[in-house]
Amino acid sequence: MTDVALPTPGAARSWWLREALATETDADAAPPLIGEIDADVAIIGGGYTGMWAAWFLAERAPGARIVLLEQDICGGGPSGRNGGFLHGWWEQIGYLSAHYGADAALAIAREADEAVDGIGDWCEEHGVDAWFRKAGYLRVNAFPGREADWRGTVDQLRALGAGEQLVPIDATAVRRVCASPAFGDGLMMPTAASIQPARLARGLRRVLLERGIRIHESTRVGSIASGGGRLQLATEGGRVFADQAVLAVNAWASGWPGFRSRVLAWGSYMVVTEPIPDLLEELGWTGGELLSDSRFTISYFRTTRDGRIAFGAGVGAAGYGGRIGRTFTHDRQAISRVAANFRHLLPMLRDVRFEDAWGGPIDITGHRFPEIGSSHGGRVHFAHGFAGNGAGPSRLAGRILAELVDGRGPSSVAALPFVGRRQPFLPPEPLRFVGARMIREALIREDDALDAGRRPGVLVRAIARLPRLLGYKLGH
Ligand SMILES: Cc1cc2nc3c(=O)[nH]c(=O)nc-3n(C[C@H](O)[C@H](O)[C@H](O)COP(=O)(O)OP(=O)(O)OC[C@H]3O[C@@H](n4cnc5c(N)ncnc54)[C@H](O)[C@@H]3O)c2cc1C
C-alpha cells in the first residue's frame, strides 16, 4: 500500500503534548496525594472538563477548597492528544430540536458556541498561547457513494434564523481552501477555531495552580463512597473527604459503576507529518481551516503553526468492559488506516513522511451526545459522552458542573433542558464488545468496497445499519 514507513503509536506521549511540555521550563509540581485531606469539592479528571469545572467553580465561589485528582498528568488523556478542532453543536441541531424543541435547541447550540470565542478570550487574558486561530471548519464530500446530505440541517438552521452557522459551498470553493482533487462540495462552519490542544490543557493547569487550586497528579481515584455525612474518595495513597465531587473522566466512565451501561469507549488515531510549508502553499491551504470528510469513521485534518498536517480518523476499535488499555494507544492497524485515508484525501502528498502517531479513547453514548447531571443524592456531578467533540463543549460542561456544585443564585446553563437527561442504555458485555467490533468491521468493509468501486455485500450493509434500527445514533 505504501513505501513510507509509519511511526509506531503508543511509543511516547502525543506530539502535541511533547511540544507543550517542552515549553514548560518551570512548571509547578502537582505531587501524588499521600494521606487524608479535606475539601469542599473534589474533581476527578484533569482533562478540559475537570479543569474548566475547577476554573468556573473558583470564579463562582472564590473561597471554596477545590482539589483536582488526575491519574496521569493534566492533559495526559485525550485533552492533550486531540485534533484541536474547536466548535459547538450546530450540526446537532436536528437531534436537539427533536428532543427539546426548536427554541431550546437554539439556546443550547448558542451556549455551546460560546466556547470558541470564550476559549480564545480566556487564553488571551491568561497568557496561554494555545495557537488559537479562528479560521472555520469545512466538511467535505470526498468518498464517492458516501456523500453527506446536509440539506435538512441547513434548512433547519435557516428556519431558526441561524443559517449563517452552516454554509454549503460548492466544489470549486472547497478547492480554493485546499486544492485536493479528491474533494467535492462541502459545508462550512465559519465560527470554528483550531488550537494546539495540549497547550490549552497545560495552560489550564498552570492557571488553576496559580489560583490556589490543589492538584494531585499520578493519583487515581478507585472509588467514591457516599455513606455517612460526606463523600470519601479512595486513592492508592490516601483519601479525600469532600462535600461534593465532580466526575470528569471521559471514556473512563465506561468502567465506572452507574455509568458503564451508557458509555462506550472507541479509539481515534492521529498522525502528524514532517513540516511541509511549501506544499501547503501549493495546495493553497494556508488559511488555517479545519477539514474533515463526511464518513462515519470521520477523517479530520488541519495544519499546524510550523507547517505540518495533523491528521486523524475514528478508525480505532471499541474497548471491552470499560478497560482503557492498549487498544486505544497501540493499534498499528488503525494507524495504517489513518495513513490510507490521508493518501486518499490528499493524494498529491503521498510521499510526505509521518513523524509521529498516537491514539486515544473517545466516549460514545447511544445518541452521540453528552450526559451531564448529578448522582449520589445530588452530591456527585458528572459530564461525559462528547463523542470526539469535547474540545469546545467541555467548556460548557465545566460551566454547567460549576453551577450544579454551587447551586446558588439564578441558574443559567444548568437549566438547559438536556442537563439531567440520561442517554440510552447500551447492550451489556460481552454483547456490546462483540456487537461494536462487528459493526466497526462492517463500516470499514463497506467503505473499502465503495472505494474499490464495488457494491458492499448485503450482510455488511445490514450490520452497518443495525445500530440505527435499534435506535442508536451510530453507524449509517
Ligand atoms: C485522537 C483524538 C482526537 C480528537 N479530536 C478532537 C477534536 O479535534 N475536537 C474535539 O472537540 N474533540 C476531539 N477529541 C475528543 C476530545 O479530546 C475530548 O472530548 C475531550 O478532551 C474531553 O475532555 P475531558 O476532560 O472530558 O476528558 P479527558 O481529556 O479524557 O480527561 C479525563 C481525565 O480523567 C482522568 N481519569 C480517568 N479516570 C480517572 C480516575 N479514576 N482517577 C483520576 N483520574 C482519572 C484521565 O487520565 C484523563 O486525563 C479527540 C479525541 C481523541 C482521542
DSSP string, 148-181: ---HHHHHHHHHTT-GGGSEEE-HHHHHHHS--T
What is the residue with the minimal CA distance to atom 4 of ligand 1?
82
Percent helix, percent strand, percent coil in the chain, to nearest 5:
35, 20, 40
Q: Please choose from 68, 70, 246 the residue to mutate so as to test ligand 1's pocket, defined by most ligand atoms within 8 A of CB.
A: 70
Q: Give dist(CA 315, CA 239) in Å, integer.
A: 39
What is the residue with the minimal CA distance to atom 50 of ligand 1?
82
Q: Please choose from 68, 217, 250 the residue to mutate so as to test ligand 1's pocket, defined by most ligand atoms within 8 A of CB.
A: 250
- Using alpha carbons, select from 321, 347, 315, 350 the residue that is nearest to residue 334: 315
End-to-end distance of the chain based on CA atoms, in angstroms? 27
C-alpha angle 115-120-123 in degrees, rounded to nearest 5: 115
* 228 alpha carbon – ligand 1 mean position (Å): 32
Q: Give dist(CA 383, CA 398) in Å, integer.
A: 8
44 CB within 6 A, ligand 1 = yes
Give the cell for residue 461: 450493509
CB 185 within 8 A of CB 170: yes
Strand pairing report for 193-194 and 186-189 = unpaired
216 CB within 6 A, ligand 1 = no
- Tell which atom from ligand 1 comes closest to the C-alpha of 235: 42
CB 439 within 8 A of CB 467: yes
80 CB within 6 A, ligand 1 = no
Q: Give dist(CA 159, CA 297) in Å, integer.
A: 30
Walk along the chain (476 residues) and give the pLDDT tens digit of each residue.
Answer: 444 589 999 999 999 999 999 999 888 889 999 999 999 999 999 999 999 999 999 999 999 999 999 999 999 999 999 999 999 999 999 999 999 999 999 999 999 999 999 999 999 999 999 999 999 999 999 988 788 889 999 999 999 999 999 999 999 999 999 999 999 999 999 999 999 999 999 999 999 999 999 999 999 999 999 877 899 999 999 999 999 999 999 999 999 999 999 999 999 999 999 999 999 999 999 999 999 998 888 999 999 999 999 999 998 999 999 999 999 999 999 999 999 999 999 999 999 999 999 999 999 999 999 999 999 999 999 999 999 999 999 999 999 999 999 998 777 999 999 999 999 999 999 999 999 899 888 988 888 888 788 888 998 888 888 888 888 887 76
116 CB within 6 A, ligand 1 = no
386 CB within 6 A, ligand 1 = yes
pLDDT, residue 476, reads 66
What b/e sequence results for 117-130 when a residue is b if at least 16 CB atoms lie within 10 Å of its CB, and e otherwise? ebbbebbeeeebeb
Q: Please choose from 17, 33, 74, 82 the residue to mutate so as to test ligand 1's pocket, defined by most ligand atoms within 8 A of CB.
A: 82
